[in-house]
Chains A and B, each alone.
Chain A
Amino acid sequence: VIGVLAAELVPAAATAGLAPGIGLYHYLLVSAVMFGLGVVGFLSRRNLIIMFLCTELMFQAVGLALIAFGKFHGNHSGEVFVIFVLTIAAAEAALALALVVLLFKRRETLDAQAWSLLKG
Chain B
Amino acid sequence: MGVMAQSVLLTLAGAAGGGDAGVHPIADAVAGPWWISLIPALPMVAAVVCLFMNFGRVRSKAPAWVVVSLLAAAFGITLLGFQQWNSGDGSPVVVKAWDWIHASWGGGGDGKTFVANVSFYMDGLSWLWMLFVTGLATMIGLYASEYMAGDKGYARFFAAFALFVVSMACLVMGDNLVLLYLGWEGVGLCSYLLIGYFYQKPAAVAAAKKAFIVNRIGDLGLALGIFLIYTTFGTVEYATLFALVGDGHAPVDVAGNAVTGWVTWAIPCLLMLGAFGKSAQLPLYVWLPDAMEGPTPVSALIHAATMVTAGVYLIARMFPMFAGLDGGHFALSIVAWVGTLTALLAATIGMAQFDIKRIMAYSTVSQLGYMFAGLGFLTTTGAAFHVFTHAFFKATLFLACGAVMHGFAGQLDLRKLSGLWSQPGWKIVTLAMFIGCINLAGVPFTAGYFSKDMILAEAFVTPGKAAMGWILLATAGLTAYYTFRVFFRVFVGPVHFEAGDEAHSHGDDDHGHGHGEEHHHDPGQHGDHHHPHFHPHPPGWAINLVLATLAIGSVVAAGTYFIDKDHHGWVGGLLHRSTASYTSPYGHHDAAHAMAVADVVIVPVADAHGGEAVAEAAHAGAGGFLGMDPHKVMYYVSAVVGLIGILTAAFLHGPRGLGGLLIGNRTEAATSRADGLLPMLGPIPKWAQHKWYVDELYHAIIVAPLWVLSNIFHLIDRVLVDGLVNVAGWAPTALAKRMRVTQDGRMHTYATGMGVGLAAVLIVVLVVVWSTGGNG
Contacts and interface: CB of A to CB of B under 8 A. Distances in A.
Contact of A1 (B745, B748, B752, B766): B766
B525 interface: no
Interface in B207-244: none
Q: Chain B: interface secondary structure?
A: helix
A84 interface: no
B747 A120 contact: no
B743 A119 contact: yes
Interface stretch (A14-22, A63-71, A86-94, A108-116): A108-116
Contacts of B746: 112-113, 116, 119
Given A43-B748, A43-B751, A113-B746, A120 B740 contact: yes
A43 B752 contact: yes
Interface string A92-120: 00000000000000000000110111111
Interface in B723-756: 739-748, 751-752, 755
Contacts of B751: 42-43
B774 interface: yes
A24 B745 CA distance: 40
A76 B755 CA distance: 30
B770 interface: yes
B748 A120 contact: no
A8 B746 CA distance: 42
B745 A119 contact: yes
Contacts of B774: 4, 8
Given A1-B766, A1-B770, A118 B755 contact: no
B740 A43 contact: no
Contacts of A39: 755
Interface in A24-59: 39, 42-43, 46, 51
B745 A117 contact: yes
Nearest to A115: B747
A51 B752 CA distance: 13
Nearest to A5: B774
Given A1-B766, A39-B755, A43-B755, A112 B743 contact: no
B469 to A, nearest CB: 89
B226 to A, nearest CB: 64
B737 to A, nearest CB: 10
Contacts of A4: 770, 774
B742 A120 contact: yes
A120 B743 contact: yes
A120 B744 CA distance: 6
Given A1-B766, A1-B770, A4-B774, A119 B752 contact: no
A28 to B, nearest CB: 14
Nearest to B766: A1
Contacts of B748: 43, 46, 112-113
Nearest to A119: B745
Contacts of A116: 744-746
Given A1-B766, A1-B770, A118 B752 contact: no
A43 B748 CA distance: 6
Contacts of A117: 745
Contacts of A115: 745, 747
A119 B770 contact: no
Contacts of A43: 748, 751-752, 755
Question: Which of B739, B748, B766 lies at the interface centre, i.e. has the most chain A CB atoms within 10 A of its CB?
Answer: B748
Nearest to A118: B745
A67 B500 CA distance: 109
Contacts of B752: 43
B445 to A, nearest CB: 97
Contacts of B744: 116, 119-120
Contacts of A8: 774
A8 B774 CA distance: 10
Nearest to B758: A39
Contacts of B741: 120
B439 to A, nearest CB: 87
A115 B746 CA distance: 7
Contacts of B739: 120
Question: Which of B742, B744, B747 lies at the interface centre, i.e. has the most chain A CB atoms within 10 A of its CB?
Answer: B747
B743 A118 contact: yes
Nearest to A48: B747
A47 to B, nearest CB: 12
A117 B743 CA distance: 10
23 contacts: A1-B766, A4-B770, A4-B774, A8-B774, A42-B751, A43-B751, A43-B755, A112-B746, A112-B747, A113-B746, A113-B748, A116-B744, A116-B745, A116-B746, A118-B743, A118-B745, A119-B744, A119-B746, A120-B739, A120-B740, A120-B741, A120-B742, A120-B743
Q: Which 4 A-B pairs have the closest CB atoms?
A: A120-B743, A119-B745, A116-B745, A120-B740
Given A43-B752, A46-B748, A120-B744, 12 more contacts: A1-B770, A8-B774, A112-B746, A112-B747, A113-B746, A115-B745, A115-B747, A116-B746, A119-B743, A119-B744, A120-B742, A120-B745
